[in-house]
Amino acid sequence: MSEVRKPRVPIEPGFFTVPEDPATPPRLLGSRCRACGEHFFPRRQVCARCLAEGTDDVLLSPRGRLYTWTYVHFPLFGSKRADHAGGYGVGQVDLPEGPRVMAVLQGEPGDFQIGMEMELELETLRENKEGQDVVIHRFGPAGRER
Amino acid sequence: MKLENVAVLGVGMTRFGVYRDRSNIDLAREAGLAALRDAGISFKEVGEAFVGYLGAMPMTGIRAMKEFGLTGLPVTHIENASATGLVAFRDAAWAVASGRCQVAMALGFDKMTEMSAGRGAGRGVGRDAIDSVILPAAYFSLWAMRRMHERGTKPEHFAAIAAKNWNFGAKNPWSDRQPDHEVTVEEILASRKIAEPVTAMMSCPVDDGAACAILATREMARRLQPGRPLVAPIVSALQSETYARGHTFMGPVVGPPSMTRDTAREAYEESGVGPEDVSLTLVHDAFATEELEYYELLGFCREGEAEKLVEERQTHLGGRFPFNTDGGLIARGHPGGPTGLAQIFELTRQLRGEAGPRQVANARIGLAHLVGGGSVCTVSILRRE
């Protein structure tokens, strides 16, 4: 018996994958410079390091290390969900390819430690008029049951 | 490049605060007329104007200028987020220094209270953009949390800076926040939490206002104001971001902390002035956590020593490096466009010796610093000649 799943759409296209199967981890959409190999998130056409034109689309590692974090004591924007009312974590995560990604974090203030391994997931913000779930990428402590 | 043959002829501002019944243009007129009076000239003599704001409609700058008269002068809009006013000042200074005109006006105004009500890009709430979820408070708190991790900085250090700036506000008639009692560290820490470790009283208010500076050749300043100390901008540096590994591209990015170090280095090198020469400094303390970082990034102490500067009260009046003597963004206020020109207002009055109870003894050189989202950093240095 298959459970009925609502289709999911990203809050803004072009930043992360939204796998059909929620069990499949999402990936960030990045770029790799064809001339010098530097990686970027989000995607860009011109390399910010060597200024060469021409990058390849790549999927970036879904895991990285927490460089810094904070906890914002306001509801996550655009969300009316009760579990978003108290606030949300924000952090910068260093990916093994180089980019430092600033994103929402999953968890409470006590869950975060600088240097810990984080993994990418998708969080539902709300349902849109078409009945789809609007999702945003976020990082949570790696290897944790959710 | 060093600025030569330009002086501040006049400054004026409204008190920053919440002005529900007054328009941007109304506030701009008050600040501009005050600056013209302080300069002792008629608007006919203004050769060029640079107008900065964030929240109003396009063309509002030119419309505001018509309040002073319709003389045909060139008017240019400037927008660099929080740094707008100081960048308008930079272009006005260069318009004079380059010989393009004898007198230039830099005018800034904004009603942040209307922007944060959802009409502008200020808060991001409800906007369907992927990075509007990262509020400015969060971004600067990320710096602070990293600093606490690396250096053992305590929330009390940040609170002490906030309390200093609130208490400076009480000494400044143009300050939005003018507390009626000595604000304490405990009070700052007990206020509402915004984003770890920042509390509401460590954050700038949402407010409105206008400010104006009039620049002229030094010869003209000496001729019109023979009895007044000549205050001259000697350098104004402006930089956008420089790429390095670990750069973040998303969020209300104000660039890596190194932007402030790089921009200050440019200003110091080109003017020949060093941090040890600076009598007072005004910085972008939208959050108290930032000010602590700027002590180091602007070169007032070595890396890792900013906490000591706080503990020794070296950035208070009477300390070696008084910071944000007008209350800074935290107390004086931060409407946006006029913020940098309020800094020029304070530096000019301090360097003339007109700052009353908050006067820095024998102030000779003043430094103004702002960062602006997007992002940019700008540093201007003024000297009493």
Share of chain B above pLDDT 90, in %: 90
d(CA A100, CA A88): 19
ipTM of the complex: 0.91
Answer yes or no: do A70 and B144 touch at CB < 8 A: yes
Residue B374 confidence (pLDDT): 87
Give the SS3 label for residue A38.
Answer: coil
Closest Cα in chain B, distance from residue A21 (Å):
22
Q: Which residues of A touch B251 (CB under 8 A)?
A: 102
Cα separation of A15 and A42, whole Å? 6
* A14 Ramachandran zone, left/alpha/beta (phi>0; psi -120 to 50): left
B7-118+207-224, which class in CATH? Answer: alpha beta
- pLDDT tens-digit readout, A96-144: 999 999 999 999 999 999 999 999 999 998 889 999 999 999 999 998 7
Q: Do residue B249 and residue A77 have CB atoms under 8 angstroms apart?
A: no
The distance of B247 to chain A (nearest Cα, Å) reads: 6
Higher pLDDT, B286 or A77: B286
d(CA B353, CA B241): 36
The identity of residue B252, as a single letter, is: P
Contact B132, B120 (CB under 8 A): no
Instruction: Identify the pLDDT of residue A146.
Output: 56
- Which tokens hold the place of B156? 């009390």
Partner-chain contact B194 A73, CB within 8 Å: yes
Q: What is the pLDDT of residue B384?
A: 98
For chain A, domains (ranges, CATH) are: 8-141 (2.40.50.840)
Q: What is the pLDDT at residue B127?
A: 46
Given this model, what pLDDT does residue B121 score? 41
A contacts of B247 (beta carbons < 8 Å): 48, 100
The CATH number corresponding to B129-203+234-384 among 3.40.50.300, 3.40.47.10, 3.30.30.10, 3.50.50.60 equals: 3.40.47.10
Which B residues in the span 91-130 are in contact with A, Cβ-Cβ below 8 Å?
A: 124-130
Asked if B195 and A78 come within 8 Å (Cβ–Cβ), the reply is no
Q: Residue A85: pLDDT band by 50, 70, 90 thresholds?
A: confident
Q: Do A70 and B247 touch (CB under 8 A)?
A: no
Are residues B163 and A119 in contact, defined by beta-carbon separation less than 8 angstroms? no
- Distances from the Cα of B42 to the Cα of B8, B50, B214, angstroms: 15, 17, 11
Cβ pair B330, B203 in contact under 8 A: yes
**pLDDT values of chain B reduced to their tens digit, one per residue, 385 residues:** 899 999 999 999 999 999 999 999 999 999 999 999 999 999 999 999 999 999 999 999 999 999 999 999 999 999 999 999 999 999 999 999 999 999 999 999 999 999 865 444 443 444 456 776 677 888 899 999 999 999 999 999 999 999 999 999 999 999 999 999 999 999 999 999 999 999 999 999 999 999 999 999 999 999 999 999 999 999 999 999 999 998 998 876 678 889 999 999 999 999 999 999 999 999 999 999 999 999 999 999 999 999 999 999 999 999 999 999 999 999 999 999 999 999 999 999 999 999 999 999 999 999 999 999 889 999 999 999 9
SS (H, E, C) A85-107: CCCEEEEEEECCCCCEEEEEECC
Locate tokens 């008084």: which residue? B322
Cβ of A94 within 8 Å of Cβ of B249? The answer is no
CB < 8 Å to A68, chain B: 142-143, 145-146, 149
Asked if B201 reaches chain A (Cβ–Cβ under 8 Å), the answer is no
CA–CA gap between residue A73 and residue B202 (Å, rounded): 14
The answer to whether A100 contacts B128, with C-beta atoms less than 8 Å apart, is no
B309, B158 contact by CB (below 8 A): no
Pairing verdict, β B48-52 and B103-111: parallel
The reply to whether omega before B197 is within 30° of 0 (cis) is: yes
pLDDT for A4 equals: 64
Question: How near does any CA of chain A get to the CA of B245, in Å?
Answer: 7
pLDDT of residue A145: 62
- Give the mean model confidence (pLDDT) for residues A66-82: 85
Whether B185 has its CB under 8 Å from any CB of chain A: the answer is no
- On chain B, the residues whose CB falls within 8 A of the CB of A135 are none
Q: What average pLDDT does the segment A9-13 reach?
A: 92
Query: Residue A123 in contact with residue A104, Cβ under 8 Å?
Result: yes
Query: So where are chain B's domains?
Result: 7-118+207-224, 129-203+234-384
Identical fold for domains B7-118+207-224 and B129-203+234-384, yes or no, is yes
Q: How many CB pairs under 8 A join A and B?
A: 92
